C-alpha cells in the first residue's frame, strides 16, 4: 500500500486508495487479537531492473527513500508490525513478498499457518504473494474488497483472482474477516 500505486503516484492503480479503509479495519482486528501483521513494500534502487530505463515493464516507482515509496498516509501501521522490503537489489524483480525475503521464515517462526492478504496490486504483487504462500504451505485468504488491479489488459485482475482460487486460496470480504476475528476472540 504505497503512495506510488495510489492515484497521483508514479504507477497509479485505479481506486488504489479505496482499499485503505477496509485494510485498516482488518489491521485493527488483528491488533486486538494480538496477531502478527506484516507490511510488504517495493523498495527499489533508482536503476531497478523493472524500470523502462533498463528495458523493464514499469515507470520508475517506489524508489528507496522517496515520498512515492512511503506507505499510504492513512494506512494504519501498528508499532508491532513488521515491514518486509522487496525488490531492493538492482538486478532482481520481486512481485511476491516471499521473493528474496525472509518472510516465510519469519511466519514459520511465529507458527503462522493462515495468512490474510490485501493491498496492491491484484494482478502482480497480491497474486504472486498468494501463490507463493500456497506453495509454502500456508492457508491463504485474499481480502477481495481490499485489492485493486493494474488491469494492463482488461480482465487481468479477474484472471489473477481465478488463479489465486485455483491455487487453493479463499476469497473473503474485510467485513467477513473482521467478524471471524471477533468470534474467535470469544
Order of all β-strands in the sheet with 170-172: 114-120, 139-148, 170-172
Decide if 118 contacts 19 (C-beta within 8 A): yes
Does position 123 interact with Zn ion (CB under 5 A)? The reply is no
- The helix or strand, by DSSP H or E, that contains position 130, with its residue range, turns out to be helix 127-135
Of positions 4, 16, 39, 42, contacts Zn ion by CB under 5 A: 42
Please say which residue, 75 or 94, places its beta carbon nearer to Zn ion: 94
Please say which residue, 66 or 139, places its beta carbon nearer to Zn ion: 66
| Binding footprint of Zn ion, residue count (CB under 5 A) | 1
Please say which residue, 42 or 128, places its beta carbon nearer to Zn ion: 42
Tell me the closest approach of the beta carbon of residue 164 to Zn ion, in angstroms. 19
**Mask of contacts with Zn ion, 147-166, x by CB under 5 A?**
--------------------
Tell me the closest approach of the beta carbon of residue 10 to Zn ion, in angstroms. 10
Segment near Zn ion (CB under 5 A); pick from 41-49, 74-82, 116-124, 131-139: 41-49
- The helix or strand, by DSSP H or E, that contains position 176, with its residue range, turns out to be helix 174-185
Q: How far is CA 39 from CA 16, 70, 82, 122, 168, in A?
A: 16, 12, 6, 16, 23
Q: At what angle do helices 20-32 and 174-185 cross, to 10 degrees?
A: 10
Dist. CA 34–CA 71, nearest whole Å? 22
Tell me the closest approach of the beta carbon of residue 81 to Zn ion, in angstroms. 21
Tell me the closest approach of the beta carbon of residue 48 to Zn ion, in angstroms. 7
CB-based contacts of 59, cutoff 8 Å, min separation 6: 10, 11, 51, 52
Please say which residue, 1 or 181, places its beta carbon nearer to Zn ion: 1
Residues forming contacts to Zn ion in the complex (CB under 5 A) are 42
Amino acid at each position: 500500500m504505497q503512495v506510488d500505486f495510489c492515484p497521483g503516484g508514479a504507477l497509479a492503480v485505479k481506486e488504489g486508495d479505496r482499499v485503505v479503509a477496509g485494510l485498516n479495519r482488518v489491521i485493527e482486528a488483528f491488533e486486538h487479537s494480538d496477531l502478527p501483521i506484516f507490511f510488504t513494500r517495493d523498495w527499489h534502487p533508482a536503476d531497478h531492473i523493472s524500470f523502462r530505463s533498463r528495458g523493464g515493464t514499469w515507470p520508475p516507482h517506489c524508489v528507496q527513500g522517496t515520498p512515492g515509496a512511503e506507505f499510504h498516509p492513512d494506512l494504519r501501521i501498528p508499532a508491532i508490525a513488521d515491514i518486509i522490503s522487496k525488490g531492493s537489489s538492482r538486478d532482481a524483480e520481486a512481485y511476491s513478498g516471499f521473493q528474496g525475503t525472509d518472510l516465510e521464515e519469519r511466519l514459520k517462526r511465529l507458527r503462522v499457518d493462515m495468512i490474510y492478504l490485501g493491498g496492491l496490486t491484484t494482478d502482480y504483487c497480491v497474486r504472486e504473494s498468494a501463490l507463493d504462500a500456497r506453495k509454502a504451505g500456508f492457508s491463504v485468504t485474499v481480502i477481495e474488497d481490499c485489492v485493486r488491479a493494474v488491469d494492463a489488459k482488461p480482465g487481468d485482475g479477474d484472471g489473477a483472482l481465478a488463479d489465486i482460487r485455483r491455487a487453493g486460496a479463499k476469497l473473503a470480504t474485510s467485513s467477513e474477516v473482521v467478524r471471524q476475528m471477533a468470534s474467535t476472540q470469544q
